[in-house]
Amino acid sequence: MVECQECHERPATLHFTQVINGNKTEVHVCEVCAKEKGYMSYPEDGYSLHNLLSGLFNFDSLKQESNSEGIFNQVKELQCPKCEMSYSQFKRVGKFGCAVCYETFADRLDPIFKRVHAGNTQHHGKIPKRQGGDLHKKKQISNYKTQLRHLIESEAFEDAAKIRDKIKALENDTGNSEAGDNS
């Protein structure tokens, strides 16, 4: 029986590895202390997710290590210019250090996102209301263009002309008014 490292009274029933700032520590606690000392967390911070991620990151660290052939051939490690997080640090911690990390590691993110998000790599949700002003318009235009293509294919030229006018109007509109068309 392992005793709980917090209270040293009850047997430890929870065993896991905690990673804080990249440092791993083994934790053995009882249920009571786990709850009290904040080891228990919401599902989004759940250990299973973390494990999933770290497994995933370790997988591609193997490739990295195999190409270090001495100091001259060593590929300079990818590092975020803003927060200075390196790619290997990112793999170990499983967290981005800032928004620029997303650009810095862009080429390597798709496989990670695919694994974590059931094959998805692109956002299809909310766009910030204020700062996304242009994006709202862009999205609307691209929706219209898809519509236009379908209309032309089905030879519905009258409707197509209407849509084409809407696209033109949007493209000429340099103000930040939102396209409030629901048709």
Partner 1 sequence: MTLQNFMNEAISPWMREEGPDNDIVLSSRIRLARNFANTTYPILADPNQLEEIRDFFKDNYEKKSFQEYKDFSFLPIQNLSAVERQVLVEKHLISPHLVKHADTAAALISENEQVSVMINEEDHIRIQFYLPGFQLNKALEKSFEFDDWLEEKINYAFDETRGYLTSCPTNVGTGMRASVMMHLPALTLTKQINRMIPAINQLGLVVRGIYGEGSEAVGNIYQISNQITLGKSEGDIVEDLQSVVEQLIDHERKARKQIMEQSSKRLEDRIYRSYGVLEYSRIIESKEAAKCLSDVRLGIDMGIITNVSKNILNELMILTQPGFLQQYASKTLNPDERDILRASLIRERLQLEK
**Among Zn ion, partner 1, none, residue 45 binds (CB under 5-8 Å by kind):** partner 1
Question: Using CB under 8 A as the criterion, which residues of the chain lie in contact with partner 1 when the complex forms?
Answer: 7, 9, 13-14, 21, 31-32, 34-36, 38-46, 49, 53, 82-85, 93-99, 102, 109, 112-113, 116-132, 135
Q: Which stretch binds Zn ion (CB under 5 A): 40-48, 84-92, 128-136, 175-183?
A: 84-92
Q: Which stretch binds Zn ion (CB under 5 A): 23-31, 41-49, 116-124, 143-151?
A: 23-31
The kind and range of the H/E element at 87 are helix 87-93
**Residue from 165, 124, 126, 115 nearest 144 by CA:** 165
Distances (CA, A) of 159 to 18, 57, 65, 143: 60, 51, 58, 15
Q: Phi then psi for 74, rounded to 5 degrees?
A: -65, 130
**Residue from 59, 50, 53 nearest 115 by CA:** 53
**Among partner 1, Zn ion, none, residue 132 binds (CB under 5-8 Å by kind):** partner 1
**Among Zn ion, partner 1, none, residue 4 binds (CB under 5-8 Å by kind):** Zn ion
CB of 151 to partner 1, least distance (A): 25
Q: Contacting Zn ion (CB under 5 A), which of 100, 116, 152, 167? A: 100
**Among partner 1, Zn ion, none, residue 44 binds (CB under 5-8 Å by kind):** partner 1
**Among partner 1, Zn ion, none, residue 78 binds (CB under 5-8 Å by kind):** none
Q: Any idea which residue has 């800032």 for tokens?
A: 98
Q: Taking CB under 5 A as the rule, does residue 83 contact Zn ion?
A: yes
Residue placing its CB nearer to partner 1 in the complex, 46 or 74:
46
Interacting residue ranges for Zn ion, rule: CB under 5 A = 4, 6-7, 10, 30, 33, 80, 82-83, 85, 97-98, 100-101
